[in-house]
Amino acid sequence: MAHRRAAVVALTILALALPFLFAGNRFYAFILGITYLYILWSSGMNLLSGFTGLMPLMYAGLAGIGAYTTVNLVMKASVSFWLAMPVGALAAAVVGVVLGLPSLRLRGFYFTLSGLVIQTALTMLFVYVPQFTAGDTGISQIPPPSIPLPGRTFPLTGVWLEETLAVAAVLTVYLVRWITRSTLGTYLVAIREDDLLTEALGIDVVRNRVLAFFISSLIAGVGGAFYAHYMGFVSPRSFDVLTSLNTWLIVGFGGQGTILGPIVGTLILAPIPYLLQELYLYKDIIYGGLIVFTTIFLPRGVYGSFLFYRRTRAAARAAASPKPEVARS
Amino acid sequence: MTLEAILLNGLAVITTGLVVGAIFSLVAAGVTIMYGTIWLPNASNGQFFMLAALLTWSMVIGWGLSPFLGAAVVIAGAIPFSLLLEKCLIRPFYNVPNRNIVYFIMTLGLAQIFAGAFTGTYGQWTDNYSIPAAWPGALMIGPFPFPRTRFLVLLVSFSLLTGLFVFLRLHRVGRALRAVFQNREAAILRGVDVRRIYRFSFVLAMLVITTGGVLFAMAYGFDLTMSWTMAIIAFAIMIVGGPGSVLGSVVIGMIFGFTQAAVSLFASPTLATFSYLVVMLIILLVKPSGLFAR
Amino acid sequence: MTKLLETRGLNKSFGGVSALKDLSIHQDMGETLGMIGPNGSGKTTFINAVTGHLTLDGGEVSLEGKVIRGKRPHAIAQAGLERTYQAVRVYAQLPVAENLRVAALPHYRRLGYSNPLDGVDVLLAKLGLKPKKETVAGSLTLFEQRRLELAMRLISRPKLIMLDEPVGGLNPTEIREMIQLLKDLRTECGLFVIEHTMKVIMELADRVVVLVSGEMIANGAPVAILQDANVIRHYLGSIRVTSR
Amino acid sequence: MLGYDSKRAGSRSFFLATIILALGAFALLLPSPGAPAEPLKGEPIKIGWIAELSGTWSFFGATGLTAAQIAEEEINAKGGILGRPVQVIPMDNRTDPAQAASAARMLDTQHKVLVLSGPTSSDTSLAIYGYAEQNKVPFVVPVAAFPRLTRPGTQWTFRVEPDAVGWGYAIVKFIEKMKPGASLALIYSDFALQRAIVAGIKYQAERSGIKIATDIIFPQNATDATVQAAQVKSRNPDFVMVSGGGAFDVTITNQLLDLGIKPEQIIHPFGAVKMILGWGPRSVGSYYGTFFDHSLGGLNDYAQGLITKFTERKGYVPAYIENFCYATVYLIKEAVEKAGAADRVKFRDAVRNINTKEITTGIPIIFDKNGARKEFMYFLQMKDVKKDIYQSKEAFYIEWDPEVIPVYQLAP
């Protein structure tokens, strides 16, 4: 599929170029930055909710752990962001794995529910350990990351910060894409479809689930770290259940279990709160309406429905012609 | 502490435990009925609770109705409202596989819509809502003055819970409802019209939740943060008590009420709130079906 | 000589009710073992227990002399003991080829293949699923799904497949085909068959074990079993000997 | 995504209809944002007004914005600032600090505002504070009392409202005056603001010989306070400092009264108009701290104008929150005129060196090197409460220097 590869390359280049195209207007550049953050987050969550069939409602909490760990290391221990961020991500990943363990016992909805509980607990935790989080007043004046060059350090401000986010987002999408095409990806889908059968076929369900949680939480943590140092501010409210739901909605709206789905979802949903500033009284209603609308009309999400439509058409053709061609997602 | 002081604190704990517990139990009962029969985990229960409370407030403060009349109007209004909801949003998914997740997400969306509507309307008018005592004055229990209104709330909620109990145990429809709790397929085989039961139990549950909201508005001052708190508490009680078990929701609701009341005598209330979540998580892991699950 | 499968004193009880009472069964190399018994006599429990889907209260299980008891299901499957389910189980959302790819992935390296889908076409051809290769499994007929299920096991070259009612829900013609198919398989790997349809047992099994409420009440050649008074009293009396 | 085919979800058009209807219904309920003033000629001087316009505490944002817009209209009616119109650009922060931070960025980068203002709560203010200090945007905080907003080293932020630790100081001074050596019970919700107030109270209590009878803290979103009220009662203190989060404040108050605590014993650290109305007739006789109240004596024309105009629009009288928002806009006006140009640095310096009087109350406005204001506080006693109006009487007034107590150590 040559044209496909070409499209992927083109998209990548565009994604990396956009920050410079938007450099003129800091406002749109900022929205772009947020969009990259959510592409990163939603792709990470998609690995669980889409490909593994588990809806991790504690996702924002994990991002929070990544963020707070990084911020504390940078601001208190004055560690370089580039060393602190991996530590934060790792912390998030470990916690994510631990909090993911219920999924080995709890099926489907009960796991979702436990996620809700865990998320609430984490948010409370952030509020009530002020020595790390400054409580509900939050941590402000978080410095932007900087690159240590020989002689001097080059602070990533303005366009360079967005560019960093762009790179991070692109890498994440590629990572997720690579995983879903790897053996692990196949296993995750198999587990989602029928975990008993998968186990009976000789595939270690527990190991693969844990792996999925690890990677997904890692991404959450990375996103959290970038979020903190991009916004320059974090508070427990930045990582509450609504953030989890936002991220999930983006994935669901775009199309779970597809690579492009979360990206499409982000491009449509992430900028809304910023572009609809004047409609502040209606934002929540519009937002909630979108959720209801999605569940009712687009159970597969925007891009997902498109793929579904294409696949069913292909299947119809397959039924007709002896040499069928199957659309792959 | 003097004997009187001890008596005072003791009575305070008991009455508070009862009132708070009763209201928690009511809402949780509504949520648990919904989940038990329809398999609908209503994430917007807190908002419905809120809606009831706010409307009662409007009736009394805005329209100057007597609290009792206002309450009656709101509760009556809940019936057509819930019938409409059922028709538009709930019924279409009755045959959808793993509809509980679908419902969960949809009701989360619903919660957002209501939250937005509340802040856009009531949120512009005031930051705290409280209605004058429906039955002013207090009953003296020893040294402890127990406000009449809250005594009334206690009576109503308890009689409601008992009524709910008797209904589910004895009445024909109630039995059918419980049959659906226990085993949907079996119920169908025994010729129960499941869809009718679904609709009925949705309305019933909504009524219970609404009443909970109304009673809360009568007993306490409240604000818009209450909705999410209530939603989480109701879920917590349902999880611990066991989805579909009204008994469970009552028992656990009471326990929640009393811990919230008593803990501040011994530990920090903050600790208590946190401990709910932990307990809930453990229960989820050890016995996902809940303590009182049939 | 080492047995293909050997269980010693298996015990399993659910809340006091014992489903398996120290059950000792063995299956020789190249032998096809059948298991019959009334509903709830513990046949499926036996498979679940042996393949690690259930934790045993007591007893030993060994495959070709190697102890497999206590291993997790996936490990047992990789050791070469696979099972099918009473209700057919395939990845309904995925195409046939993908189903097989999933089934092959954990094993193909061990089998010295470079690509998980090596040899799939041959297999599909043998099972008459070739034209369906790209079809979504959910849209296959039950019989096709049963064969796909089988293919998903065979692709990992197991030592023994435990079949839980392989012809459940099939019509007489299909049953005949299925029996033929299984007969041909006997050369490739050991088969352990649970069935209510005596026809299948009679034609396939070299030996039959009769289970009643978790206990083995008879064990011998199919023909002998048919005459066994004990068996007739407990079981055969209750069912029609012909296929449904 | 949810594993079912939408077709099974019944008739689509019907749903669409219902949803649109539902949204429409809500839309009708919603009031539209306040109308902007008719513009003068010339590039307007922009004030970025980041407020709690939606979310949990949208009431405060809305009420504050109205007051600010009244000031905006008055100024523009009287020829604007330096002949240019002033424009208050409202920006919602959803009562969420993270949103506040990005709102600040939007106003800075998109609208190129001269100065940021508007937040009515400490955590949103702190979020904006971070942005303002980092990006060198002047930030005048109308209503947020957390000391950290003016911690030493602050360059670009100025706080018009006295800080919460100071309130604690003032409360103790007030009690000292009423009954030297009195005992005081503390009962409050676990929010940053309340913690700061209590820190101030405890610090000053030691020095003024006021005994802390008991110290009861509630988690956020608690529902009932009877037990804690009983605890307070059984310690029978002379005074009770009550400060719950949101409506819980009313609940605590009522339950204290239920248990026979006298209104005269109750002191609320601050009294926003709806809170006072919420406490209701039962609380007549109790005290509350404030910085402006319509029932204060000797109010000037600006104050009267604010009260009448505001009451016309909102149906209730303005209190200190509304006043601070109103006065802040005028303060900014004066500073710009002193600076002589809409330039951020010039403006910042002008505010630093400003020495003026609050437009409504005539109380001096002088900022110290950290941008903290010379502090003051009124204590009023409730005399009468009706449905939308109340009357109170001044009981105590005190002024003090921000660092008379170590506020920044007490509330880091």
DSSP per-residue string spanning D66-133? HHHHHHHHHHHHTT-BTTB-EEEEEEE-TT-HHHHHHHHHHHHHTS--SEEE---SHHHHHHHHHHHH
Chain B contact present for A311, CB below 8 A: no
The answer to whether the beta carbons of residues D252 and D187 sit under 8 Å apart is: yes
**pLDDT at position C45 over 70:** yes
Q: What is the pLDDT of residues D57-112, one digit of tens each?
A: 889 999 999 999 999 999 999 989 998 999 999 999 888 887 888 899 889 988 89
**pLDDT at position C239 over 60:** no
Superfamily of domain D45-162+298-373: Response regulator (3.40.50.2300)
- Signed CA dihedral, A215, A220, A223, A225: sign only: negative
The confidence band for B1, taking pLDDT boundaries of 50, 70 and 90, is: low
The answer to whether the beta carbons of residues D50 and D118 sit under 8 Å apart is: yes
Identify the pLDDT of residue B269: 65
Cα(B286)–Cα(A138) distance, rounded to whole angstroms?
Answer: 35
Chain B contact present for A64, CB below 8 A: no
Q: What is the pLDDT of residues D148-183, one digit of tens each?
A: 889 899 999 999 999 999 999 999 999 999 999 999
- Residue range C51-57: average pLDDT? 89
Cα(B251)–Cα(B242) distance, rounded to whole angstroms?
Answer: 11
Per the listing, tokens 């090596």 go with C118
Q: How far is B228 from chain D (nearest CA, A)?
A: 9
Q: Where in the sequence is the domain holding A177, given as residue range(s)?
A: 25-240
Per-chain mean pLDDT for chain C: 88
- Return the amino acid letter for D241: M
Of D322, D371, C136, the closest CA to residue A315 belongs to: C136
Identify the pLDDT of residue D17: 52
Chains that touch C (3 or more CB pairs under 8 A): A
- Residue range B221-231: average pLDDT? 89
- Residue range D291-314: average pLDDT? 94
Chain B contact present for A272, CB below 8 A: no
The H or E element containing residue D332 is: helix D320-339
* Residue B29 domain-assigned (yes or no): yes
Overall pTM > 0.95? no
By CB atoms closer than 10 A (0-12, 13-18, 19+), residue D352 is: middle
CA angle C162, C164, C169 (to 5 degrees): 145
> Is A199–C74 a contact, with Cβ atoms under 8 angstroms apart?
yes
- Judging contact as 3 or more Cβ pairs under 8 Å, the answer for A and B is yes
* Residue B177 domain-assigned (yes or no): yes
Q: How far is C74 from chain A (nearest CA, A)?
A: 4
Lateral strand order in the sheet of C190-194: C81-83, C160-164, C190-194, C32-36, C207-212, C215-220
Inter-chain contacts counted by CB atoms under 8 A, chains A and B: 105
Identify the pLDDT of residue A221: 97
- Enumerate the residues of chain B whose CB falls inside 8 A of the CB of residue D228: 264
Inter-chain contacts counted by CB atoms under 8 A, chains B and D: 174
- Residue range D380-400: average pLDDT? 94
The confidence band for D2, taking pLDDT boundaries of 50, 70 and 90, is: very low
Per the listing, tokens 């010379």 go with D374
Three-state DSSP class for residue A259: coil
Chain A contact present for C113, CB below 8 A: no
Q: How many CB atoms lie within 10 A of CB B190?
A: 10
CB-closest option in B12, B96, B119 to D226: B12
Q: How far is D25 from chain B (nearest CA, A)?
A: 10
Q: How far is B281 from chain A (nearest CA, A)?
A: 7
Cα(B203)–Cα(A183) distance, rounded to whole angstroms?
Answer: 49
* Residue A81 domain-assigned (yes or no): yes
By CB atoms closer than 10 A (0-12, 13-18, 19+), residue B66 is: exposed
Residues 6+ apart with CB under 8 A from B127: B223, D57, D59, D60, D246, D247, D272, D274, D275
Q: Which of A194, A285, A298 to mutate against chain B (most B CBs within 10 Å)?
A: A285
Identify the pLDDT of residue D3: 46
Identify the pLDDT of residue C95: 92
* Residue A320 domain-assigned (yes or no): no
Chain B contact present for D28, CB below 8 A: no
Domain count of chain B? Answer: 1
B173/B155: higher pLDDT:
B155
Chains that touch A (3 or more CB pairs under 8 A): B, C, D
Q: How far is A74 from chain C (nearest CA, A)?
A: 43
Taken as a whole, chain C contains a residue count of 244
- Residue range C39-68: average pLDDT? 90
Residues 6+ apart with CB under 8 A from D232: D185, D187, D213, D214, D216, D240, D256, D259, D261
- Enumerate the residues of chain A whose CB falls inside 8 A of the CB of residue C117: none
> Is C105–A326 a contact, with Cβ atoms under 8 angstroms apart?
no
Which tokens hold the place of D47? Answer: 């004030």
Cα(D13)–Cα(B102) distance, rounded to whole angstroms?
Answer: 19
Domain count of chain A? Answer: 1
The CA distances from residue C88 to C15, C85, C96, C132, in Å, are 28, 6, 14, 17
The alpha carbon of C89 is separated from its chain's Cα centroid by a whole number of angstroms, namely 13
The confidence band for C241, taking pLDDT boundaries of 50, 70 and 90, is: very low
* Residue B9 domain-assigned (yes or no): no
Q: How many CB atoms lie within 10 A of CB A246?
A: 20
> Is A204–C131 a contact, with Cβ atoms under 8 angstroms apart?
no
- Enumerate the residues of chain A whose CB falls inside 8 A of the CB of residue D127: 138, 140, 233, 235
Which tokens hold the place of A86? Answer: 């991996």
Lowest mean pLDDT among A298-302, C157-161, D321-325: A298-302
- Residue range B213-222: average pLDDT? 94
**pLDDT at position C71 over 80:** yes
Chain C contact present for A104, CB below 8 A: no
**pLDDT at position B193 over 70:** yes
> Is B284–A245 a contact, with Cβ atoms under 8 angstroms apart?
no
Strands D390-400 and D375-385, bridge-based pairing: antiparallel
- Return the amino acid letter for D405: I
> Is A203–C82 a contact, with Cβ atoms under 8 angstroms apart?
no
Strands C207-212 and C190-194, bridge-based pairing: unpaired
Fold category of D165-290+377-410 in CATH = Rossmann fold (3.40.50)
Identify the pLDDT of residue B108: 84
* Residue B139 domain-assigned (yes or no): no
> Is A298–D6 a contact, with Cβ atoms under 8 angstroms apart?
yes
Identify the pLDDT of residue B279: 78
* Residue B212 domain-assigned (yes or no): yes
Which tokens hold the place of D118? Answer: 């508007």
The confidence band for C243, taking pLDDT boundaries of 50, 70 and 90, is: very low
Three-state DSSP class for residue A17: helix
Identify the pLDDT of residue B294: 56
- Return the amino acid letter for D61: G
Q: What is the dihedral of CA C151, C154, C160, C163, to 10 degrees?
A: 0
* Residue A204 domain-assigned (yes or no): yes
Q: What is the CA radius of gyration of chain B?
A: 19
Per the listing, tokens 């930030």 go with D139
Of D328, D295, D280, D304, the closest CA to residue D65 belongs to: D328
Q: In chain A, which residues have pLDDT < 50?
A: 323-329
The H or E element containing residue D218 is: strand D211-218
- Judging contact as 3 or more Cβ pairs under 8 Å, the answer for D and B is yes
Q: How far is A312 from chain D (nearest CA, A)?
A: 12
What are the residue ranges of CATH 3.40.50.2300 in chain D?
Answer: 45-162+298-373, 165-290+377-410
Cα(D128)–Cα(D105) distance, rounded to whole angstroms?
Answer: 9
- Signed CA dihedral, C196, C201, C204, C210: sign only: positive
> Is B270–D190 a contact, with Cβ atoms under 8 angstroms apart?
yes
Strands (E), chain A: 146-148, 153-155
- Return the amino acid letter for D198: V
- Enumerate the residues of chain A whose CB falls inside 8 A of the CB of residue D97: 137-138, 233, 235, 237-238
Q: Which residues on neighbouring strands pair with residue C6, listed in sequence order? A: C26, C62
The answer to whether the beta carbons of residues D336 and D82 sit under 8 Å apart is: yes
Of D148, D162, D144, the closest CA to residue D399 belongs to: D162
Identify the pLDDT of residue C197: 83
Percent pLDDT > 90 in chain C is 49
- Enumerate the residues of chain C whose CB falls inside 8 A of the CB of residue A203: 74, 102, 105-106
Which tokens hold the place of C59? Answer: 């007893």
Q: N- to C-terminal Cα distance for chain A?
A: 13
Which tokens hold the place of C8? Answer: 């010693």
- Enumerate the residues of chain C whose CB falls inside 8 A of the CB of residue A196: 53, 85, 89
The answer to whether the beta carbons of residues C52 and C27 sit under 8 Å apart is: no
Residues 6+ apart with CB under 8 A from D76: D37, D38, D39, D40, D85, D86
- Residue range B97-111: average pLDDT? 83
CB-closest option in D18, D227, D245 to B9: D227
Which three-class secondary structure string do you get for chain C?
A: CCCCEEEEEEEEEECCEEEEEEEEEEECCCCEEEEECCCCCCHHHHHHHHCCCCCCCEEEEEECCEECCCCCHHHHHHHCEEECCCCCCCCCCCEHHHHHHHHHCCCCCCCCCCCCCCCHHHHHHHHCCHHHCCCEHHHCCHHHHHHHHHHHHHCCCCCEEEEECCCCCCCHHHHHHHHHHHHHHCCCCEEEEECCCHHHHHHHCCEEEEEECCEEEEEECHHHHHHCHHHHHHCHHHCCCCCC
* Residue A49 domain-assigned (yes or no): yes
> Is D3–B261 a contact, with Cβ atoms under 8 angstroms apart?
no
Q: What is the pLDDT of residues A64-105, one digit of tens each?
A: 999 999 999 999 999 999 999 999 999 999 999 998 887 777
Q: N- to C-terminal Cα distance for chain D?
A: 47
